[in-house]
Homo-oligomer: A and B are copies of this chain.
């Protein structure tokens, strides 16, 4: 069986069972482990705090193409944007645990003909975002390679006396909610790669959403502070990521599609494809979470960004997601989320 037939999630499932079976609970590392493979970040007890760790990779021509001229707006990322995004996707994983990011390790594989100034620009992007969140870059690795691969590991922590946000804590009766607006990142990629001629303001919003996502770090910490326990960040797409929560929590979800907060610039420019981009586009790096209506109200009052309730968690048919319209009628949408190895 080739991994392209199995798909990213099938592969991860198989490897996770192999790895979990091999993890020795009698070692100190095994005893202190709180969460291994399967959540946004791993978590373990270290003294009186919980430590968090996550890793993400950006691969040239898979996750991005590089700008080779000074012209912009071509779907290509500058080196600085690339650095920002490579760190942002990891900070978003720590945010989805309700954690505080602290340290980053940057492992670069680069062609020998890369210009020093390009590598410096990459680091300017990483450093710009790192400084916003008080993250120190403490190590890394440098290899030659025929194409650019950026691997960033981010370490963080959570206070032991508070809980962390996990994918497995959704409970029947919870509301499903999401921060910010959805669909703008996928719309931005499409706009850039197809050279779609949008008005400057919309074009800028979509481009920023795709190239410079803002991880919801402060929001994640406020969610956990106000009693939220279940969350994931939207990287694969709302439906795909909600599916992860449903499977891990052994619950189902019912989403009212008219409540989904489609980004205004997506609504204005993508017509009847806007909802599909919001549901399945991915890379929004917003937080998708579940909690009681009361907890969500408290969270809403505490965070600065919009929080929208889009549905609810149910017990029956665990793992399933039902989409309904304003009248409660089930609707079908073909697209789901982004998955590696399987070409869509």
Chain A residues within CB distance 8 Å of chain B: 1-4, 6, 8, 11-12, 14-15, 18-19, 22-24, 27-30, 32-33, 35-37, 41-42, 44, 46-49, 51, 53-57, 59, 61-63, 100, 102-103, 105, 107, 109-110, 112-117, 119-120, 123, 127, 130-131, 134-147, 149, 151, 153, 155, 157, 340-341, 343
Contact = CB atoms under 8 A, between A and B. Distances in A.
B137 A23 contact: yes
A140 B90 CA distance: 12
B27 A142 contact: no
Contact of A36 (B4, B18, B135, B137): B137
A343 to B, nearest CB: 8
A139 B37 contact: yes
A91 to B, nearest CB: 13
A41 to B, nearest CB: 7
Nearest to A48: B47
A94 B12 CA distance: 27
Nearest to A27: B134
B47 A46 contact: yes
B340 A136 contact: no
A130 B14 contact: no
A106 to B, nearest CB: 8
A93 B36 CA distance: 23
A102 B140 CA distance: 18
Given A47-B48, A144-B341, A139 B36 contact: yes
25 contacts: A1-B115, A1-B116, A3-B112, A14-B120, A18-B127, A19-B137, A24-B136, A29-B135, A32-B102, A36-B139, A46-B46, A46-B49, A53-B155, A55-B139, A55-B140, A55-B151, A56-B141, A57-B149, A59-B143, A59-B145, A62-B145, A142-B340, A143-B340, A145-B149, A149-B149
Contacts of A127: 18-19, 22
Contacts of A35: 138
A110 B135 CA distance: 29
Given A103-B42, A340-B143, A138 B59 contact: no
Contact of A3 (B22, B59, B116): B116
In the complex, the 3 A-B pairs of residues with the closest C-beta atoms, listed nearest first: A47-B47, A4-B112, A27-B134
A113 B2 contact: yes
Chain B CB within 10 A, most for which of A48, A127, A151: A151
Nearest to A1: B116
A112 B12 CA distance: 14
Nearest to A102: B29
A201 B136 CA distance: 48
B11 A116 contact: yes
A146 B251 CA distance: 37
B55 A119 contact: no
B19 A59 contact: no
Contacts of A146: 61, 147
Contacts of A341: 110, 112, 144
